[in-house]
Amino acid sequence: NNAAQSLELRDNLAEFLQITLAEEEANTLETVPAQTIAAELGLNWQSVGYQVHFIDLAKQILARHENAPIAQTVLDKLVELAANFDSAEPEPLGSQSSSTYVLRIGERRVIYSANRQEHYTTVHLIGHDRELRKRQPLT
């Protein structure tokens, strides 16, 4: 991946992510396990080696009516990621953070952080590429 293709979050989303990452670092970030969300939405979840948790906003986004067609796909991709995380090479999120990554699912992006020592992944944002991407200046 070259730098021109890397995802740079819009400023307000980048600020939001900085706040949630700081809360995560301080162990004050409230999250919900993916299996709980899957059960609430009537979707399938396969427990795997890495724990996958969602912050409340990411849970709300996944549960939106317009995301119903892709919700199971998002969960399936997260299961696949969590099952293979130690051998996976996650895609870093632009220049925002060294522990924050992007999972591409069609035109959707899942922004997540990972703690390899704790085998723990936190989903921070889910959105369409154009909703998340900082507008590139016209050259």
Convert the pLDDT of each residue in 54-81 to its tens digit.
999 999 999 999 999 999 999 999 999 9
Over residues 13-68, the pLDDT tens digits come to 989 999 999 999 999 999 999 999 999 999 999 988 789 999 999 999 999 999 99
The predicted pLDDT at position 130 comes to: 86
Burial track 74-97 (b if 16+ CB lie within 10 A, e otherwise): bbebbbebbeebeeeebebbbebe
Q: pTM for the whole thing?
A: 0.89
Q: Is residue 137's pLDDT more than 70?
A: no
Q: Is residue 113's pLDDT more than 80?
A: yes
pLDDT, mean over the chain:
88
